Structure 1
Amino acid sequence: MAMLDGTVVNVALPRIGADLGTSLSTLQWVVNAYMLTLSALLLLGGALGDRLGRRRTLLVGVVWFAAASVLCGIARDGTLLIAARALQGIGGALLTPGSLALVRSSFRTEDQAKAVGAWSGLTGVAGAVGPFLGGWLIDGPGWRWIFLINVPLGAVVLAIALRHVPESRDPSTAGRRFDVLGAALGAAFLAGISYALITAPGAAVSEVALPALFGLAAGVAFLVVERRGRNPMLPLGLFSSRLFSVTNLMTLCLYAAIGGVLFLLPVQLQNGLGYDALEAGVATLPITVLMLVLSAWSGDLARRVGPGVPLVAGPLIGAVGALLMLRISPGSSYFSGVLPAVAVLGLGMSTFVAPLTATVLASVEEERAGLASGVNNTAARIAQLLVVAALPLAVGLSDNAYRDASAVNTAFHRAAFGMAGLLVLAAVLAALFVRRPAPEGGKRPAGPQCRTHAGLSAPPLEPGGREGSR
């Protein structure tokens, strides 16, 4: 369910815009409404699972996600679709964090490694199937079915979970308060900044300045609350580790670049080159295949030589892939234009994704690894949210110009340069600051331990831990 919505909604955007007669800013909110609530509530969702029961939280999240998907599928205008997508993000924040935590609690210790391997492999399979299934639905029954298909999928999940998945909790969370105020302030910060960026083209200064100031004020208040709170959603002490801070800054750069490419590339392929939805979805399949095949290799490489090499080489390779997208123009063929770019980008992502998150996890004490994973995952989603809000403004793509092949082509090429710049910046940060992490009090090995990944929309989760668990 999560993979399909994560990989196919961008492909559906041109069709949604044409069907509903919406502007580009509305399509930006179709993506960002989901990312906004998901990013703001992801850590809170993990805490709810730990306290109230991971299976229970998963079941509520699945029902919520499926119900919101129905609202997405029947939405008759852009406003209703945006509202439904925001509700869908809340469901995603409930069902996503408990995934690996349930695997860990449902299997004996000696079987957990195999179970996590199966989980990772099936995630890769879902990522590979998504473009085919989603593209077929968009071109066949229609874009609404990329949401409506979540109903039967959710029913299968409910049936399996009720019959086979045991309930589990974290006893250490008993009596702790939920950081609802922190989550609300985080959401207000992201909403204010996103609104300002999306409405900036052609808007009066006051229409941009007021939401931007509101967002910044909420961001400052969020930091104050998290610093002083007894049970903060985001303990700021994590950032006392320079390696943790740098790798999360790299995450912002890398996933902003990836999010920007995956947002505009389907628009370029469909409105610029005339691809149908299935062709546009399948066009990016080499990225998923390369990540599925090479992620274990990149994890081994980081273990042998340290994380610095793949975290410098991977973003630089990805930057070459972004620059190769300058060859994707109206009239160019798939094999000479699109395939080399997505293949090189996929090779770069395969090189840095697993070592990046493994280094994040190795930069903190072992007992805080689950929280570190959740923070890193949230950082990746925030990067994607902000780049979708800012990119059209940055490349000069106005509200209705996304239907014009020439305007889309010009904006896409400008974006390619910007995305390459973000990838190079991440490589520079890695070269300057990333070293093999030292053991923490003898408890933690000196190299990255994670070799699995969670697909294209977020960093990998920790095999031995859980996302956003504390």
Structure 2
Amino acid sequence: MSDGNSRRRWYGLVAISIAVALIIVDSTIVNVAVPNIVNDLGLTSSQVQWVQESYTLVFAATLLIWGALADRIGRRRMLLIGVVVFVVASGLAAVANSGEALIGARIIQGFGGAMILPTTLSLINVGFTGRDRGIAFAVWGSTIGGMVALGPLLGGWLTTSFSWRWAFGINLPIGLIIVAGVLLFVDESRADEDRGIDVVGALLSAVTFASLAFGLIEGRTYGWWSSTKPFELGSWTWPFAISPVPVAFAITLIAGSIFVVRTLRRTAAGLPTLFRFDLFGINSFRNGNIAALIVSLGEFGIVLSLPLWLQNVLGYTAFQTGLVLLGLAIGSFTASGISAALSRHLQPAAMVRAGIVAEIVGIAALGLVISPTSSWLAVVPCLFVYGFGVGLATAQLTGVVLVDVPVQRSGEGSGLQSTARQIGSALGIAILGTVLFTTAAVSLENGLEDLGVPPAARTGIVNAVVDSAGGAIPGLSGDPRTAAAAPVAQQAFSDATRNAAFTAAGFLVLGLLATLSLGDRPRGRHAPGYAAQEGPADTPALT
């Protein structure tokens, strides 16, 4: 391969990485901008929730669809379509004048984001081989880890210095850069065979994953069995005593079962399907996806609770919180920088394990230093180590999962891998959110009881702190009637954040154990030296 073509591939990787950064930054920016959006548009509590969750639900529900479709219509084309959809939706969100308009724009963003993520993976899987492929995935993974931390910093700056609308408007110039870079430096690729499109299978897949994501994310809010809070959708309110969450899980089971049976039958008959289950006959793909799902349970969970603790207990502003989280980003990008050197001495699966070990050390250390009197000087080094592990493990695990997937099925495999991670993330958020708020409520209740606060007042304070995700804590010290409860609330929320960190570390330990089933021997077209070969990619036996 000529030096010119080699340079062109790496320029293309820059464009692909910026596309990944676009969707990751946007999802984290919104969390910081929400208070200002509420004040400007007068959102209800239900609308606030849907501004955040509508994007996630659509994203999780359609990842698999767009990944498989990209194999058929062209991966570069799907990436460009996704970027255009995402940018147009961002423009609509930036000019939204009501909660309904903003939620609608977020739904469209979810479609665009789901087109982008698996397609970036499949383009890297197709475009790089051998050691270059490991480096490319390291850049991809470190971009995700770094942007998770940079998003709050950028969002805090844009919201504070300009307007929350710029949190969406910033996507327009970034989108133009991505489109230009992809058109100039990324080659088109698609599957050799056109298997058609299974529309019914796509709809069943969307229903399955949307209902699963809804149940996992909203279980703590609406109740895992009985309704604990009214579920509202526009002007309609859920009328039953049973929570919508178990109903969502029932829909997941029914739609998922129909999808599996229907896919198996259509595969046997040679008819088009969204994906074929024979991919799970590839050991590295099957075992890697299991490990990725478990690791995702704990990998980004602390990002849910840490900003709440920093702002509501330590009193940091949104911008200061972003500066603290910058430690995670620096660690992630550092891992990207040294991954090429490490790849000369360690196989990808070994690098995955090393990264997960670093994550465990960083997040466990973070749990040890969390207290109402903690300093950022103690927190940032822990985040750096954690971010280093994320940057090292995330990309290499992605490479391990896809290493033996036939090149013509890269979009299909990437969609499945992204979906497994998304399910793991949703499950992790559900579990860690439950740990955070349940233990905060119990600890605060016990602390207030020891303080001699009457039962009715205890209940009011506990509900205010938990329902506001800790946002009510700063106000306690400003009211003479509740000033004595403020230190107790700060300690309770710190204890809960510590418990969430240790729980995340526990999931990562399980993920580390799951990676022991992954082999270290590079195979197929991604083995060292294969890059020098010409001709079609080899297709591994599905064993």
Report the TM-score when normalising by structure 1.
0.78
Q: Percent identity?
A: 34
- Select which of 467, 491, 510 maps to 1:425: 510
Other-structure match for 2:527: 445
Instruction: State yes or no: 1:73 paired with 2:83.
Output: no
Other-structure match for 2:6: none
Other-structure match for 2:436: 395
Q: RMSD of aligned C-alpha atoms?
A: 4.1
Cα distance in 1 between the residues matched to 2:36 and 2:337: 41
Other-structure match for 1:41: 62
Instruction: State yes or no: 1:83 paired with 2:120.
Output: no
Counterparts in 2 of 1:374-413, with a 5 A limit?
Answer: 374-396=415-437, 398-405=466-473, 406=489, 408-413=493-498
Contact 1:238/1:244 (8 A) holds in 2: yes
Contact 2:330/2:384 (8 A) holds in 1: no
Q: Following TM superposition, by how much is the alpha carbon of 1:65 offset from its aligned partner in structure 2, in angstroms?
A: 1.0
AA aligned opposite 1:227: L
Q: Following TM superposition, by how much is the alpha carbon of 1:64 offset from its aligned partner in structure 2, in angstroms?
A: 1.6
- Select which of 159, 162, 167 maps to 1:138: 159
AA aligned opposite 1:392: G
Other-structure match for 1:436: 520
The range that moved more, 134-143 or 398-407, is 398-407
Instruction: State yes or no: 1:268 paired with 2:309.
Output: yes
Residues 362 and 303 of structure 1: is their aligned pair in 2 closer, same or farther, counting only changes over 3 Å?
A: farther
Q: Following TM superposition, by how much is the alpha carbon of 1:34 offset from its aligned partner in structure 2, in angstroms?
A: 2.1
Other-structure match for 1:345: 386
Instruction: State yes or no: 1:191 paired with 2:276.
Output: no
Residues 39 and 267 of structure 1: is their aligned pair in 2 closer, same or farther, counting only changes over 3 Å?
A: same
Structure 1: give runs of 5+ residues left out of the alignment: 450-463, 466-470
Structure 2: give runs of 5+ residues left out of the alignment: 1-18, 230-240, 439-465, 474-488, 532-536, 539-543
Other-structure match for 2:113: 92
Counterparts in 2 of 1:95-174, with a 5 A limit?
Answer: 95-99=116-120, 123=143, 127=147, 130=151, 132-158=153-179, 164=184, 168-170=188-190, 172-174=192-194
Q: Deviations over 1:314-346 (max 9, x none)?
A: 32331222222322343321112x212202212
Counterparts in 2 of 1:248-327, with a 5 A limit?
Answer: 248-295=289-336, 297-298=338-339, 301=342, 304-326=345-367, 327=369
Cα distance in 2 between the residues matched to 1:254 and 1:283: 24
Counterparts in 2 of 1:187-226, with a 5 A limit?
Answer: 187-197=206-216, 198=218, 199-201=221-223, 202-203=228-229, 204-226=241-263
Contact 2:191/2:409 (8 A) holds in 1: no
Cα distance in 2 between the residues matched to 1:13 and 1:129: 13
Counterparts in 2 of 1:23-34, with a 5 A limit?
Answer: 29-34=50-55
Q: Deviations over 1:231-270 (max 9, x none)?
A: 3333221222343222212111222212312222222222
Q: Following TM superposition, by how much is the alpha carbon of 1:151 offset from its aligned partner in structure 2, in angstroms?
A: 2.3
AA aligned opposite 2:520: R
Residues 307 and 156 of structure 1: is their aligned pair in 2 closer, same or farther, counting only changes over 3 Å?
A: closer
Contact 1:182/1:226 (8 A) holds in 2: yes
Q: Deviations over 1:157-202 (max 9, x none)?
A: 456667x46883536243x222333332232223223333414342
AA aligned opposite 2:90: S
Aligned pair count?
443
Report the TM-score when normalising by structure 2.
0.69
The range that moved more, 250-259 or 187-196, is 187-196
AA aligned opposite 2:174: L
Q: Deviations over 1:257-308 (max 9, x none)?
A: 1231222222222233222222222222232222222236446546644445
Contact 1:313/1:427 (8 A) holds in 2: no
Q: Following TM superposition, by how much is the alpha carbon of 1:23 offset from its aligned partner in structure 2, in angstroms?
A: 8.0
Contact 2:59/2:110 (8 A) holds in 1: yes
Contact 1:59/1:158 (8 A) holds in 2: yes
What SS class does the counterpart of residue 192 from structure 2 fall into? helix
